[in-house]
Amino acid sequence: MRITLSLGGNAAASLRQEADSLIAAAAEGVADATTALEQTLRRQVVGAGLGQRLAGTWRSQLFPPTATKASGEVWTVAPLVIQGFDEGPTIVARNGSRWLAIPTANVPPRSWGSKAPGGHPRRLMTPVEVEAAFNRDLRMVQPPGRPVAYLIMDQLVAARSGRGFRQATSRRLAQGRSAQPVLMFVLVPQVTLSKRLDIAGVVAAVETEFPGMIERHFEQGA
């Protein structure tokens, strides 16, 4: 004996319509959640005083929905920087070095396109790059009994533009500009970043709102 159960006519059409509406609502909800997550993470970075540039490293992408899946992705193009301010780690020197070199405002900027670990632009030169740029060694000064030291570049003159420094050539000295030592880097054994971001908290908040986003679109399409 064989028993066949089927659903046809208006009832089947109604169920198909409901299923289509639910799929569409889910896709819209995913789009809303993805946008909300990206924008909230950006606002958090700005609110933490880390600037619009770092906030703009958060990006998002929506993938074409299918009959069984709707998805989006949010990521940052500066993961190490974001991770540092999210976790508040202690950073120590690498490769056996005793010191971390913290650049001052006197350090020249690097050329555009230079990258640091993590893929984000590195704005300022390293000590080795500063020595190469000025063709002169940095001089280390360490006050007695203090866990800090300084890297100074001697014999520099202020740029005529007022921005940065140049080598003290005879021509520049003849113009009346005075040669001076310039502090380039502060050396410390380690640095502890303060925790200024809460990525997990933002994600949890959006996850809580996510079902409501889908429901709202479902009701609007009903």
What is the reported pLDDT for 10? Answer: 55
Residue 180, strand partner residues: 156
Q: 45: which residues sit within 8 A by CB, 6+ positions away?
A: 51, 54, 55, 58, 82, 197
- State which amino acid sits at residue 46: V
What is the reported pLDDT for 222? Answer: 55
Q: 187: which residues sit within 8 A by CB, 6+ positions away?
A: 99, 100, 101, 102, 140, 142, 148, 149, 150, 151
- State which amino acid sits at residue 182: V
Query: b vs e for 104-133, b when ≥16 Cβ sit within 10 Å of the residue's Cβ?
Result: eebbbebeeeeeeebebeeebbebebbbee
Alpha-carbon 208 to chain mean position = 25
What is the reported pLDDT for 140? Answer: 95
**Residue 76, CB half-sphere, CA atoms under 13 Å: how many?**
22
What is the reported pLDDT for 203? Answer: 93
What is the reported pLDDT for 22? Answer: 73
Phi, psi of 221 (to 5 degrees): -90, -10
Q: Given the structure tokens 């984000």, which residue do they identify? A: 120
pTM value is 0.61
Phi, psi of 138 (to 5 degrees): -75, 145
What is the reported pLDDT for 18? Answer: 61
Q: 198: which residues sit within 8 A by CB, 6+ positions away?
A: 44, 86
Per-residue pLDDT of the chain (222 residues; tens, 9 = 90+): 354 444 445 555 554 666 667 778 888 888 999 999 999 999 999 999 999 999 999 999 998 877 778 889 999 998 988 998 999 888 777 766 788 899 998 998 876 544 544 444 457 888 999 999 999 999 999 999 888 999 999 999 988 887 888 888 888 888 888 899 999 999 998 888 889 999 999 999 999 998 898 888 878 765
What is the reported pLDDT for 117? Answer: 47
- State which amino acid sits at residue 220: Q
Q: Domain limits of the chain?
A: 9-85+195-221, 90-192
What is the reported pLDDT for 45? Answer: 95
